[in-house]
A and B are shown apart, each in its own frame.
Chain A
Amino acid sequence: DAGITQSPRHKVTETGTPVTLRCHQTENHRYMYWYRQDPGHGLRLIHYSYGVKDTDKGEVSDGYSVSRSKTEDFLLTLESATSSQTSVYFCAINGDSYSGNTIYFGEGSWLTVV
């Protein structure tokens, strides 16, 4: 199995509190991604990174920020969580910009905002 882990795997938090999800890889892959998945929407890209300190917005970036200070870690932060951010969050890594042979997903982080 590819070396990608997400933490925490499950979290319940209150509206208005900050939350940080961590994605850690041991593959030294260049690209890292955060997606959220909700019923009827598939996986929607929140932010992705194409290198240390290089990030770009995805389709649903409002309310989220990211940081990548080193190759192995990609952090997703909800500055002030809202109930609409209750979702399953998947991290992914990718070794190159073309083939699909090096794309791997974490097991997901279930976040509930009450």
Chain B
Amino acid sequence: RKEVEQDPGPFNVPEGATVAFNCTYSNSASQSFFWYRQDCRKEPKLLMSVYSSGNEDGRFTAQLNRASQYISLLIRDSKLSDSATYLCVVNQGGKLIFGQGTELSVKP
């Protein structure tokens, strides 16, 4: 079993749609959690950190459920520019583990 697993993709949605990504992790000692965005053939870039209380950044909302060991990312009012691969990342005391990524394609 992979340490960090994500929903299989791709997700194809129309502009304006709401889309949700989920991610589960197996190591309960994991300390911090993030969502990264990666555009084709580019390096990943931090989208947002994920906190137990939930956090929001504009159209993006991230949630962490430590008891169930999953994190989620909600994107509201999808834009064409949101098309990318979204990676969940778990920090285990300095060791960064990535999920396999979920591809999102937003269509006009």
| Complex Cα–Cα for A99 and B49 (A) | 8
Cβ-based interface call for A25 (8 A)? no
- Number of residues of chain A lying within 8 A (CB) of chain B: 30
Q: In the complex the two chains form, is A103's CB within 8 Å of B96's CB?
A: yes
Minimum C-beta distance from B42 to chain A (A): 8
Cβ-based interface call for B87 (8 A)? yes
Number of A-B contacts (CB under 8 A): 65
Cβ-based interface call for B22 (8 A)? no
| Complex Cα–Cα for A35 and B36 (A) | 15
| Complex Cα–Cα for A62 and B95 (A) | 18
Interface centre among A59, A100, A106 (most CB of B within 10 A): A100
**Given A42-B6, A42-B101, A45-B97, 20 other A-B contacts at CB below 8 A?**
A41-B100, A42-B98, A42-B100, A43-B44, A44-B98, A45-B96, A45-B98, A48-B95, A56-B95, A98-B31, A98-B91, A100-B32, A100-B46, A100-B91, A101-B46, A105-B43, A105-B44, A105-B45, A107-B42, A107-B43
Interface, chain B (partner A; CB < 8 A): 3, 6, 31-32, 34, 41-46, 49, 87, 89, 91, 93-101
